[in-house]
């Protein structure tokens, strides 16, 4: 039986939050995941990830800037974005987001300033051990402050959806932690792809022990995401109210191909399977394909949640149909242009900022190899 709703006469569009919001949530998650990777190095001294620490900061900044452009585009009157700073409501999660996003952007710029400033001009020649120690201390403090701030920046994205009672697919207290897990998956997957493309050791080779380390972190992130999804699908939908069960029917019925096969199967289960088995993970084409599939799966999840949540009517039965336009601020070209802007920012920042350090890559590789040797001797 056909259960799609086609309205011939309507007061307005049923999909109010379109592709820009999906893009915003995706890039905010990538920014959060990349910054958490850098925070492990600068805040907790994880030297094995040092080769990608600076690159992680660059990815975090480029992704955050790309995300903010989506918010401006979704306003439909971008020239009035300044009103967000003085027309505020203390109980509104969107108001909280204004301060969280701008605070995170400011902290990220400060973090990058103290990380990169020693490599520019005369400061690199005049730096004393004492000044280097002070600089490292400041970087550590900023990383520790930025860690909870980065978590809040992306958790609030799940919060603003979770508080909407009129949307059964959104109204769940599990959305903020699910968003954080998906942020780690997308951030780590993007970093694996960029590290394989850009990071090299002194011999000019890809530091595969470093990629294996990132792959294990990605596997744990996917596992956490799947566990949280299990709770969400069972408690939140199967054993909940009628509207929540309709949300489950949307995900596993009407949107079965995108929400189940593409997002869960191709985007989470398949990458987890490849990364979890060393014999498969050592096939590097499969490894990078798994990272790409994980990133695509997270994007589909953002799409399915934002758009799919609005396909459930507030009154009546069935589901709305939605096909995004090709042109316009809410169309497919907006997504393509936003990704192009992100790539452009990555090219500019990696060209201007001295993020490469072969010694860090060599030391991280040797550290991982030493750890493996100690583990094998103990076994």
Q: What is the mean pLDDT of the chain?
A: 81
How do the residues of the chain divide into helix, strand and coil, expressed in percent and rounded to 5? 75, 0, 25
Q: How far is CA 149 from CA 106, 135, 158, 190, in A?
A: 11, 21, 15, 21
The kind and range of the H/E element at 33 are: helix 19-42
pLDDT tens-digit series, residues 193-223: 999 999 888 887 888 889 999 999 999 999 9
- How far apart are the C-alpha atoms of 280 and 265, rounded to whole Å? 17
CA angle 266, 325, 316 (to 5 degrees): 80
Query: Average pLDDT, stretch 98-121?
Result: 87
pLDDT tens-digit series, residues 132-176: 788 888 999 999 999 999 999 888 888 888 888 777 777 788 889
Instruction: Give domain status of residue 150, yes or no.
Output: yes
Beta strands in the chain (DSSP E): 4-5, 319-320
- How far apart are the C-alpha atoms of 327 and 345, rounded to whole Å? 23
The tokens of 119 are what?
């490599």
**Domains identified in the chain, total number:** 1
- How far apart are the C-alpha atoms of 145 and 139, rounded to whole Å? 10
Instruction: Give domain status of residue 169, yes or no.
Output: yes
- How far apart are the C-alpha atoms of 244 and 233, rounded to whole Å? 10
What is the number of other CB atoms lying within 10 angstroms of the CB of residue 143? 25
Q: What is the pLDDT of residue 29?
A: 93
pLDDT tens-digit series, residues 262-291: 888 999 999 999 999 988 988 989 999 999
pLDDT tens-digit series, residues 293-330: 999 999 999 988 888 777 766 655 555 667 777 777 67
48, 50, 51, 57 alpha-carbon torsion, rounded to 10°: 140
Q: For 42, which DSSP code?
A: H
Whether the pLDDT of residue 30 is over 90: the answer is yes
Instruction: Give domain status of residue 363, yes or no.
Output: no
Beta strands in 85-144 (DSSP E): none
Whether the pLDDT of residue 254 is over 60: the answer is yes
User: Bridge-partner residues for 320, per DSSP?
Assistant: 5
Instruction: Give domain status of residue 366, yes or no.
Output: no
Share of the chain above pLDDT 90, in %: 39
Q: Find out whether 162 and 154 touch, Cβ atoms under 8 Å.
A: no
Query: Average pLDDT, stretch 186-191?
Result: 96
Residues in CB range of 67: below 8 A, 6 or more apart: 23, 24, 25, 26, 27, 28, 31
What is the extent of the structural domain holding 301? 16-119+135-321+342-358
b (16+ CB within 10 A) / e for 296-327: bbbbbbbbbbbbbbbbbeeeeebbbeeebeee
The tokens of 126 are what?
């005049």
Q: What is the pLDDT of residue 366?
A: 46
| C-alpha closest to that of 264 among 308, 296, 219, 307 | 296
Whether the pLDDT of residue 373 is over 50: the answer is no
Share of the chain above pLDDT 70, in %: 79
The kind and range of the H/E element at 62 are: helix 53-74
Instruction: Give domain status of residue 296, yes or no.
Output: yes
CATH code, domain carrying 66: 1.20.1630.10
What is the number of other CB atoms lying within 10 angstroms of the CB of residue 42? 26
The tokens of 314 are what?
């507030």
Whether the pLDDT of residue 27 is over 80: the answer is yes
CA 346 from chain center: how many Å? 16
Q: Find out whether 13 and 323 touch, Cβ atoms under 8 Å.
A: no
Instruction: Give domain status of residue 336, yes or no.
Output: no
Q: Find out whether 310 and 17 touch, Cβ atoms under 8 Å.
A: yes
Instruction: Give domain status of residue 334, yes or no.
Output: no
Residues in CB range of 299: below 8 A, 6 or more apart: 22, 26, 186
Would you place residue 186 in the very low, low, confident or very high pLDDT band (cuts 50, 70, 90)?
very high
Whether the pLDDT of residue 379 is over 70: the answer is no
């Amino acid at each position: 039986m056909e259960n799609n709703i086609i309205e011939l006469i309507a007061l307005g569009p049923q999909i109010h939050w379109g592709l820009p919001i999906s893009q915003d949530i995706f890039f905010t998650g990538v920014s959060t995941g990349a910054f958490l990777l850098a925070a492990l190095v600068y805040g907790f001294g994880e030297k094995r990830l040092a080769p990608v620490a600076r690159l992680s900061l660059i990815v975090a900044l480029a992704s955050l800037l790309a995300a903010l452009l989506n918010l401006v585009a979704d306003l439909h009157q971008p020239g009035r974005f300044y009103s967000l700073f003085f027309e505020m409501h203390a109980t509104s999660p969107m108001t909280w987001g204004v301060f969280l996003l701008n605070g995170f952007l400011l902290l990220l710029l400060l973090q990058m300033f103290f990380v990169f400033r020693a490599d520019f001009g005369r400061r690199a020649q005049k730096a004393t051990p004492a000044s280097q120690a002070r600089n490292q201390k400041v970087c550590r403090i900023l990383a520790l402050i930025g860690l909870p701030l980065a978590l809040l920046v992306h958790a609030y994205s799940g919060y603003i959806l979770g508080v909407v009672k009129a949307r059964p697919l959104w109204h769940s207290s599990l959305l903020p932690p699910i968003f954080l897990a998906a942020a780690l998956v997308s951030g780590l997957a993007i970093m694996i792809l960029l590290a394989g493309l850009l990071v090299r050791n002194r011999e000019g080779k890809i530091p595969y022990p470093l990629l294996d380390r990132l792959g294990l972190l990605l596997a744990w992130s996917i596992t956490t995401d799947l566990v949280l999804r299990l709770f969400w699908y069972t408690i939140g939908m199967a054993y909940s109210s009628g509207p929540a069960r309709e949300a489950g029917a949307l995900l596993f019925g009407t949107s079965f191909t995108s929400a189940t096969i593409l997002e869960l199967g191709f985007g989470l289960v398949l990458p987890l399977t490849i990364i979890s088995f060393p014999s498969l993970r050592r096939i590097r084409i499969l490894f990078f394909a798994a990272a790409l599939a994980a990133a695509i799966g997270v994007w589909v999840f953002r799409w399915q949640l934002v758009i799919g949540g609005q396909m459930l009517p507030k009154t009546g039965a069935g589901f709305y149909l939605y096909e995004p336009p090709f042109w316009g601020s809410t169309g497919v070209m907006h997504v393509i242009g936003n990704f192009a802007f992100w790539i452009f920012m990555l090219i500019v920042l990696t060209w201007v900022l001295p993020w490469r350090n072969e010694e860090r890559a060599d030391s991280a590789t040797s550290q991982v190899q030493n750890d493996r040797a100690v583990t094998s001797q103990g076994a």
